[in-house]
């Protein structure tokens, strides 16, 4: 009888282990601490910079097996910022059609190791209803740390390049030719992502740091 109970307990424990580890591998993106930054060439010789916020999403990260990793994330087009309010309104409305397509969506399809501390993440990026495959070069995720609110966080940085024309982001103000040759705004856009993630159970913890105990 005792042996049967022990076997049953061991079986239950072994069934629970995968679930525990699976939970440990699940993360959510911290919207207030994650950003998508972009750069494009303007008038051939200068670099225009901007960003988008409101990033949300879920990540599965298995440090031992990248093939089990996955990412689903969204960005809010309404947060587009190039430090010029009039230009930002025009870009959101005329080029991104923010009312019809309020979000940019990324869903990974494959994750592989790209060396020590690096990953290569292939996925589908959807902008203005158009989906194209992109490959993100990822540094990280870096080892977990505790933030001021006591949350456990991991971070990563990722880069890729896309063609804005592939996503229908076109127009005279962008595609007019300049005297020296080339376009007013380059077709190639460099994307740089700075992402912080935390366990789902800690996602609701916000506010100032806890006061130290006396």
In a domain, 11, yes or no: no
Spatial contact of 169 and 127, defined as CB atoms under 8 Å apart = yes
In a domain, 14, yes or no: no
pLDDT band per the 50, 70, 90 thresholds, residue 181: very low
Query: Has residue 206 got a pLDDT over 90?
Result: no
Boundaries of domain holding 117: 24-200
Query: Has residue 114 got a pLDDT over 90?
Result: yes
Alpha carbon 158 to chain centroid, angstroms:
8
Spatial contact of 98 and 89, defined as CB atoms under 8 Å apart = no
In a domain, 52, yes or no: yes
Query: Does residue 86 sit in helix, strand or coil?
Result: helix
In a domain, 94, yes or no: yes
Q: Across residues 110-136, what is the average pLDDT?
A: 97
Query: Has residue 12 got a pLDDT over 80?
Result: no
In a domain, 168, yes or no: yes
How many domains, in total, are found in the chain? 1
Query: Does residue 109 sit in helix, strand or coil?
Result: strand
In a domain, 158, yes or no: yes
In a domain, 160, yes or no: yes
Residue carrying structure tokens 């072994």: 14
CATH number of the domain that 87 lies in? 2.40.128.110
Query: How confident is the model at residue 211, as a pLDDT?
Result: 61
Q: Across residues 97-126, what is the average pLDDT?
A: 97
Task: Name the H helices within 72-210.
Answer: 85-90, 172-175
pLDDT tens for each residue of 42-96: 655 678 899 999 999 999 999 999 999 999 999 999 999 999 899 899 989 998 9
Q: What is the pTM of this model?
A: 0.82
Mean pLDDT taken over the chain: 84
In a domain, 19, yes or no: no
Q: Cis ω on the peptide bond leading into residue 9 (within 30° of 0)?
A: no
Query: Has residue 210 got a pLDDT over 90?
Result: no
């Amino acid at each position: 009888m005792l042996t049967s109970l022990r076997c049953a307990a061991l079986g239950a424990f072994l069934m629970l282990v995968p679930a525990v580890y699976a939970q440990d591998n699940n993360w959510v993106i911290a919207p207030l601490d994650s950003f998508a930054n972009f750069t494009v060439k303007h008038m051939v010789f200068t670099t225009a910079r901007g960003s988008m916020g409101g990033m949300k999403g879920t990540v599965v990260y298995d440090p031992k097996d990248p093939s089990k990793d996955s990412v689903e994330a969204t960005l809010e087009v309404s947060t587009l910022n190039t430090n010029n309010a009039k230009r930002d309104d025009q870009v959101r409305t005329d080029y991104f059609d923010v009312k019809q397509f309020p979000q940019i969506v990324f869903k990974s399809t494959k994750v592989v190791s790209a060396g020590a501390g690096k990953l290569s993440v292939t996925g589908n990026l959807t902008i203005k209803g158009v989906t194209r495959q992109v490959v993100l070069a990822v540094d990280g995720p870096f080892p977990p740390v505790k933030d001021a609110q006591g949350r456990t966080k991991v971070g990563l940085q990722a880069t890729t390049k896309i063609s804005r024309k592939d996503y229908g982001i076109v127009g005279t103000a962008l595609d007019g030719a300049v005297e020296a040759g080339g376009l007013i705004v380059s077709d190639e856009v460099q994307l740089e992502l700075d992402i912080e993630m935390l366990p789902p159970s800690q996602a609701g913890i916000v506010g100032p740091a806890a006061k130290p105990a006396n």
